Chain A
Amino acid sequence: MEILIKNGYVFDPLNDINGDVMDIGVKDGRIVDPSEIDPSKAKVIDAKGKTVMAGAIDVHSHIAGPKVATGRLIKPEDHYLTNIPNRLPYRRAQTGVAVPNVFKIGYAYAEMGYTTVAEAATPPLKTRHTHEELNAIPIIDKMAFVLVDSNWIALDLIQEGDLEKLCAYYAWLLKATKCYALKLVDPGSDVAWVYGKPSLDLDNYVPGYNLTPRDIIETTGKASETLNLPHQIHVHCNRLGYPGNCVTTVKTLDLSNKFALRDRPSLHITHVQFTGYLGDSWADLRSGGEEIAKSLNKNRYATIDLGQVIPGFAAVTMTADAPFEYVLYHITRGKWSFADVEAETAAGIVPYRYRKKNYVNTIQWVIGLEITLLAEDLWRVYITTDHPNAGPFTGYPKIFSWLVSAKAREEIMKEMSSKALKRSALPAIDKELTLYDLAILTRASPAKLLGLEKEKGHLGIGAQADIAIYDIDPTKVDLSRDYEVVVRAFRKAAYTIKDGEIVVKDGEVVKTVYGTTYYVNPQIPEDLEREIESVVKEKFVSYYSVALDNFIIRREELKKSKEITVKAKLGG
């Protein structure tokens, strides 16, 4: 299908376009010069008075894999009353808000104009499950980050001090699991968890090893940069969830300079809200937003995503930070799930509700907003809710409204804890972002973060035809005053186009297509590859309960895939 989008207000920061009226041409799934399209034969969309952006990208969301599945299992109440009947044969039934089924995930993201989502964490041994679920999610392009910080083979190699072998192992692992980047969650703490010990701060020793989480982060960071991976190491900081943990986060951010081997961001800290707490108890919890914004401004090799809280929603916390979930279970005394994965990692799940009037939840809510509004460089900040930990991804439009409208913030602050707000900087911040800023935060810079800015996150010629058109006339709408329009428009796009196919029209899914799973293949010297294969073969026998050749995931198991090849800076 050929498409011609006419007269829209285009926001494309990667190409320096800020609201110009432009036509966009689509042909064979790519963006082309509009002059190449014959309007008499193409589908013409009149985008007059509408905002046009590239499809949005979510860099951290829990949408697929064993803990998402368990989350669904233990929260049937998330599904009783949240059903959207099917429209057979082109649209399947949807259910759920915090732990939706695969159809709700794909369709709701598409309805918001999101076309690429990264599954934030997958345990290697069960990653086949993650891929089965990713295969089943309609429309969006996807990828997964593989957990490595408590991995026995990785820890052995880090301890041995052989960086080349470690690089080779990570390369092998990424290929074997068909994943996109290296994920660290409360590094080293799952080793402690399996031994029944408490979680670790940056300089505690990992039980059984002569290593600290700092060592794990630095060495893995170095390896990732040496491997030339498109996305840098993705780190969930130590001490997540504890009052005062901001200190650890700032120390971790400072590490980014130590392995910035490519003069580009080397460290990504995720859902920084959860690790941005000042104070030494829940009673005197305060926002570390300003501290983190300052540290981010200083550390130009670091990037962060928010993990922004959406108050009033029944969230489900799910993370590889099993020791933290043990603590949260004891706070909530509700349901709890955990799963230890041999030689690799663990996970925990605890349903949790963020309450508007709650002091702690209000502090949590201000952190993400403070960071974004105080950051000097919006190109290193990303909007996420760590779905479903801080809120459902369908809450993103609300976040947009809080960022573009001080009035929107004022309105919701009326319902929140005044004591918490008195101790926060947010009420005094009157900065308001623009549509261009939103485009940076949700399209342009996420594409760069993932190393996919050639074909995603922008509307230049040659880009993938992943396009979102919203019912917002930037010349008529006062974003600050009419923030409800922002919420409505971004929740239900006028059009979403995926690989050149119209999949959403007037906020409704009109066609089910299937996107592509991205994974990385870091190329290393052949002799190193052979060496690591024999190391892995030997360790597998003693560490794992499955045969090595049954562990490896073959490309054919991915419904639709794209391999990103990179060349490691290794060897002769």
Chain B
Amino acid sequence: MTNSKSLILITGRSLMQGVSMEAEGKFSERYLKAAALIELNPKDIEEIGIKDRCKVTSDFGSVVLAVRRSEEVPPGVAFIPMGLWASAVVDYETESTGMPNLKGITIKVEPTDEEITKLQDVLKIFGFEKFDYKPQDRSVKTGERRVVENVICTFCGDLCDYLTIELDGELITRNRGGCPISVAKFLNYHKHRILKPLVRGENGKFVETSYDEAISKAAEILAKAKYPLLYGWSSTSCEVIDLGVFLAELVGGVVDNTAVICHGPTALGAQEVGTARATLGIIKHFADLVIFWGSNAAHAHPNHFARWVLSEGKHRKGRKERRVVVVDVRKTGTARQADLFIQVQPGRDYELVTALRMAIKDLEIEAPEVAGVPREQILELADMMRSAKYGVMFIGMGVTMTGAKFRTIEEVIKMAHDLNDWTRFVVIPMRGHYNVTGANEVKLWNTAYPYAVQYSDGFPRMITGLTSTTDVLIHGEVDAALIIASDPVAHLPRKAVEHLAKIPLIVIDPKWSLTAAVADVVIPTTMVGIETDGTAYRMDGVPLHTKKLVDPPDGVLSDREVLERLINKVMELKGWS
């Protein structure tokens, strides 16, 4: 019996997607296996009649993916890890928030005999005809063994700063303390590198060139553009992002970072109502109630649970003195560690938070069920929250990406404000990239806004929907793009990425991102936290200075040096020297 069925799609991080992208890069078989995949409930698999693959179609695109059976997704819901294949089918509409609908999209799933869509084919669908990929491993001299303590990891917003890295010369041989994604990143830092500046040749293949040439070309593109986009920033240091904002101001362009498709709505919510925060050590010492809402820490922040929930603090002797609640649409790995799991229907978190706020204030909830959650569970959770001595809610993309988006965040923060009348309660966003928080801080001090800033009138303006990356790409408003320390081709919705194919594209990155493979100018740089030092901010705002462990590859400049040169060149072109 074969059928097609309509399902609600959720996209997000997965451990293997993270490990494979850090270990072998996005062009590898391993990444294809990890990201060209859809998780379906066995009941749906049976009903649709699929075996090991299926065709997924939405209003925005169609791809063929491998199928994995999972009890984690309820019937009617599907999960695709974030990546190129997810980007092919997600909704681009931001509703003027800058945040596209990356969760909660309706898809049609049907059986198929077609091959799983290859990476290159998806890129072609997006409009990238020219695609070139020339990875090289940097040389690593060996011989001298040493151990470096308290190394700061540069993957996610937990910024674990207790890693012990063992080296044999320039080869990293061991990473103790890091999670699997961290281990993958450090042990493979020397692989799949871009080691020489590249410009796109006539035949669509890259030609090696000098830094001077590449930077000149990039500077010309930016200086001549009417409205360039400078996007990414979240995986490099604050010193670099500071220069980036200056560059954006010089060229009168848009400067934006990955928060626009991540915790941007959290910032928008804060703009409306304020915040309720604490540093992570407070959680360790005081938290007796830990709620994960729309956050799958087990896959996206793998050390988080051990560091803050299992650990002992001044007043909490570890897991047994804390209660854990998970609110999510799927019963994730994180949910399986909870004392109470609340399964909410996709896109309806706003209703659930409202009901919870009402319950906390002893207002009567008339409906027997809200957003798929029985009233009794809501009252139970409200009671746990009010009677906690110190509660924390870690929020993730489940709350920012769907439904009421930033309005849900407003309610969550207001709920925390309400709870502080009874007890202590905070809300901490689970920041993704290791320095996305820093990228927002740098923008705040330079422009007074956290992200999505444009300078075309000679002063900063933030109006999501108009100045946010997703929107300026979807509406084809920018005429050039500089992408640094991020991979928008992999993670922005198809319609936004299609515009990147039409404009001059400059990429600054140490490794082969998908965006680098389709760029016009590629400028290699060193890796922050391994080959170059630099400041980054943890998800709770604690700033740390990452270390340099090894010398950069021969001839490769740091992000900082490249940006300084770019700025000088742009100033020259504009007659401002």
Contacts and interface: CB of A to CB of B under 8 A. Distances in A.
Interface in A534-561: 542-547, 549-550, 553-554, 557
B444 A73 contact: yes
B460 A194 contact: no
A326 B420 contact: yes
Nearest to B272: A335
Contacts of A76: 271, 448-449, 462
Interface string A291-327: 0000000000000000000000000000000000010
A338 interface: yes
A554 B277 CA distance: 27
B553 interface: no
A74 interface: yes
B277 A340 contact: yes
A514 B417 CA distance: 40
A342 B279 contact: yes
Nearest to A125: B542
Q: Which of B250, B286, B541 has the most CB of A within 10 A?
A: B541
B448 A550 contact: no
Interface stretch (A45-53, A95-103, A415-423, A487-495): A95-103
A195 B420 CA distance: 11
B543 interface: yes
A132 B445 CA distance: 9
Given A338-B277, A349-B274, A101 B458 contact: no
B542 A126 contact: yes
Interface residues of B, number: 61
Interface in B477-526: none
A142 to B, nearest CB: 13
Contacts of A196: 389-390, 423-424
Contacts of B426: 340
Contacts of A186: none
Interface string B53-89: 0000000000000000000000000000000000000
Q: Which of B307, B445, B447, B545 has the most CB of A within 10 A?
A: B445
Interface stretch (A78-86, A369-377, A433-441, A447-455): A78-86
Nearest to B152: A550
Nearest to A552: B545
Contacts of B22: none
Nearest to A349: B274
Nearest to B308: A545
Contacts of B149: 547, 549
Contacts of A544: 281
A329 interface: yes
B349 interface: no
Q: Which of B423, B442, B444 has the most CB of A within 10 A?
A: B444
Interface stretch (A64-72, A236-244, A458-466): A64-72
B280 A545 contact: yes
Given A194-B424, A557-B545, A70 B275 contact: yes
B108 interface: no
Contacts of A133: 445
A542 B249 CA distance: 44
Interface string B427-455: 00000000000000110111111100001
A66 B459 contact: no
Contacts of B450: 73
B150 interface: yes
Contact of A101 (B238, B445, B535, B542): B445
B250 A194 contact: no
A489 B279 CA distance: 45
A274 to B, nearest CB: 21
A159 interface: no
B282 interface: yes
A72 B267 CA distance: 11
Contacts of B161: 546-547, 550
Contact of B543 (A79, A129, A136, A349): A129
A101 B445 CA distance: 5
Contacts of B280: 342, 545
Interface residues of A, number: 59
A143 interface: no
A336 B286 contact: no
Contact of B460 (A95, A336, A543): A95
B365 interface: no
Contacts, number: 178
Contacts of B543: 126, 128-129, 132
A549 to B, nearest CB: 5
Given A329-B417, A342-B285, A545 B279 contact: yes
Contact of A99 (B267, B279, B448): B448
B141 interface: no
A338 B275 contact: yes
Nearest to A557: B545
B537 interface: yes
B439 to A, nearest CB: 12
A1 interface: no
A66 B424 contact: no
| A interface majority secondary structure | mixed
A339 B420 CA distance: 12
A349 B276 CA distance: 10
Contacts of B441: 69, 129, 132
A122 to B, nearest CB: 12
A102 B441 CA distance: 12
Nearest to B547: A550
A74 B535 CA distance: 24
A546 B540 CA distance: 12
Contacts of B270: 70, 73-74, 337
A89 B545 contact: no
A133 to B, nearest CB: 5
A550 B537 CA distance: 12
A543 B571 CA distance: 48
A93 B245 CA distance: 11
A259 B88 CA distance: 70
Contacts of A338: 275-277, 420
Contacts of B459: 83-86, 93-95
Interface in B389-417: 389-390, 417
A267 to B, nearest CB: 30
Nearest to B455: A93
A132 B238 contact: yes
A543 B281 contact: yes
Given A78-B448, A84-B459, A336-B417, A89 B571 contact: yes
A119 to B, nearest CB: 13
A514 B574 CA distance: 24
B314 A85 contact: no
Contacts of B444: 69, 72-73
A267 B462 CA distance: 44
B144 to A, nearest CB: 22
B242 interface: yes
Contacts of B276: 336-338
Contact of B445 (A69, A343, A545): A69
B207 interface: no
A128 B535 contact: yes
A398 interface: no
B545 A550 contact: yes
Given A74-B271, A196-B424, A547-B150, A101 B284 contact: no
11 contacts: A66-B541, A79-B449, A83-B460, A126-B543, A326-B420, A337-B270, A337-B277, A543-B281, A545-B279, A545-B542, A550-B150
The 6 closest A-B pairs by CB, nearest first: A342-B281, A85-B458, A545-B281, A83-B459, A340-B278, A547-B150
Interface of A: 64, 66, 69-70, 72-74, 76, 78-79, 83-86, 88-89, 92-96, 99-103, 125-126, 128-129, 132-133, 136, 194-196, 326, 329, 335-343, 349, 542-547, 549-550, 553-554, 557
Given A95-B459, A103-B446, A545-B307, 15 more contacts: A72-B445, A72-B449, A73-B270, A73-B444, A85-B459, A86-B455, A88-B458, A93-B455, A93-B460, A95-B447, A95-B460, A126-B542, A132-B238, A136-B445, A546-B161
